[in-house]
Amino acid sequence: MVNSKIQAGEENLLHVYNRFPIALDHGNGMYVYDTDGKEYLDFAAGFAVTGLGYNNKELNETLKEQVDKIYHISNLYYHENCGEAAAALNKITGMDRVFFTNSGSEANEGALKSARRYAYTRQTGKYEFIAMENSFHGRSFGAVSVTGHDSYREPFEPLVPGVHFAKFNNLDNVKSLVNEKTCAIILEPLQGEGGINLATQEFMEGIRQICDEKDILMICDEVQCGMGRTGSMFACQGFGVKPDIITVAKAIGNGIPVGAFAMTKKVAEYSLKQGDHGATYGGNPLACTAVKKVLEIFEKEHILDHVNEISPYLTKRLDEMTEKWACIVQRKGKGLMQGLQFNIPVGEINKRAVENGLLVIQAEGNVIRFVPPLILEEKHIDEMVEKLEQVLMGLC
């Protein structure tokens, strides 16, 4: 598709995205295709969303059948697939109660409200949140209030009051911010947008311990790092740490807009009550059918095992690139959520990679991020390295 045609259509959209000048048309497996039929190897997965890749026949057929039956009923009525999706989600998160949302931001909004409501019921007077520097929790007011980047927050101030930012992986700094008003600590076990920063074992365990000792709720934002991406179903489980509230979205619907926050029975007992929260679309039959089917496929096709089999090869190839190229500082991350940190700005690298038929995304701090569909094979990793190295040849 010619650029001018894209621009003409794009004029009608609000200009908040720095879009690449390509118009995508369809996808299959690890690849997407533009309107001219050009093929792109996808290591972005629509921002870590399409874990099962594109055009998964079983998922597509199931969604089509559900569309023909019914796809919206409102939450005044029960739909079987929602109860079943929630049960499946509870089974893998270890939580007890689920609320389905339309997005990751909304999942975090719900988690923050849940924590405030928990404190309110128990009349503890707690309302403050501790969040992490370099975190990303979404764009709605609550979510952006706990996002650790000035540029995301400043234009929209004043935000939700009572938020303190701690240095990621610095337990002493967290401790210094805790007081009798702290109601919850929210963090991503593996920060995505913030530059692919993995929490340390000590940090995750330390946060859990602080929360237990001081009657504070631990909220893990698994929107990006969850759903098998790091080699455990949820990244917090890789540390053997169980939060009180967990938030998910992105890969859980493979692209059907759906997220969720889930909590333990203990939290639910004192938290959101009838009338406290809701979402007209949240967890409609189509969204819940997607979640139910995605989780079924995960189990049936042993996606998690596959992630653990394939990710050492990605690690190896990225380590080799780090050795070889002077402009690469280090490899970061875990499993199929990794990044290469460069000592030069990565905008141009990303742009040329897309031109060269490889979709990758950037993260904070000159990082090129790799969050491919979880179904990838070694040959795709080889193809990615080849395409990226062709780009680096002119820049590095």
Ligand X SMILES: *Cc1c(COP(=O)(O)O)cnc(C)c1O
Q: Is 237 annotated as a binding residue?
A: no
CA–CA separation, 143 and 135 (whole Å): 10
Smaller CB distance to ligand X: residue 217 or 392?
217
Q: Does 138 bind ligand X (CB under 6 A)?
A: yes
Which residues make Cβ contacts (< 8 Å) with residue 99, sequence separation at least 6? 110, 260, 261, 262, 272, 277, 279, 282, 283
Q: CB of 110: closest distance to ligand X in angstroms?
A: 12
Strand order in the sheet with 24-28: 24-28, 31-34, 39-42, 358-359
Q: CB of 190: closest distance to ligand X in angstroms?
A: 9
In 3D, which of 141, 35, 48 has the Cα closest to residue 360? Answer: 48
CA–CA separation, 77 and 70 (whole Å): 13
Contact 123, 85 (CB under 8 A): no
**Residue 37: exposed, middle, or buried by beta-carbon count in 10 A (0-12, 13-18, 19+)?**
exposed
Q: Does 223 bind ligand X (CB under 6 A)?
A: yes
Which residue's Cβ has the minimum distance to ligand X? Answer: 104
Going residue by residue from 182 to 211, which x/- string records binding to ligand X, judged by CB under 6 A?
------x---xx------------------
Helix axes 378-393, 303-324, angle to 10 degrees: 30
Q: CB of 309: closest distance to ligand X in angstroms?
A: 25
Site stretch for ligand X (CB under 6 A), options 164-172, 221-229, 285-293, 385-393: 221-229
Size of the site for ligand X (CB under 6 A): 14
Q: Does 137 bind ligand X (CB under 6 A)?
A: yes
Q: Does 136 bind ligand X (CB under 6 A)?
A: yes
Q: Does 249 bind ligand X (CB under 6 A)?
A: yes
Residue 286 vs residues 19, 46, 195, 295: alpha-carbon distances, Å: 29, 20, 33, 14
CA–CA separation, 88 and 291 (whole Å): 9
Q: CB of 58: closest distance to ligand X in angstroms?
A: 24
Q: Does 109 bind ligand X (CB under 6 A)?
A: no
Q: CB of 102: closest distance to ligand X in angstroms?
A: 8
Q: Does 103 bind ligand X (CB under 6 A)?
A: yes
CA–CA separation, 74 and 60 (whole Å): 23
How many residues would you count in the chain? 396
Q: Does 52 bind ligand X (CB under 6 A)?
A: no
Q: CB of 137: closest distance to ligand X in angstroms?
A: 5
* The token pair that represents 203 in the structure block: 């940090």
Smaller CB distance to ligand X: residue 143 or 303?
143
Residue numbers in the known binding site for pyridoxal 5'-phosphate are 136, 221-224, 280
Binding site for ligand X (CB under 6 A): 103-105, 108, 136-138, 188, 192-193, 221, 223-224, 249
Residue numbers in the known binding site for N(2)-acetyl-L-ornithine are 139
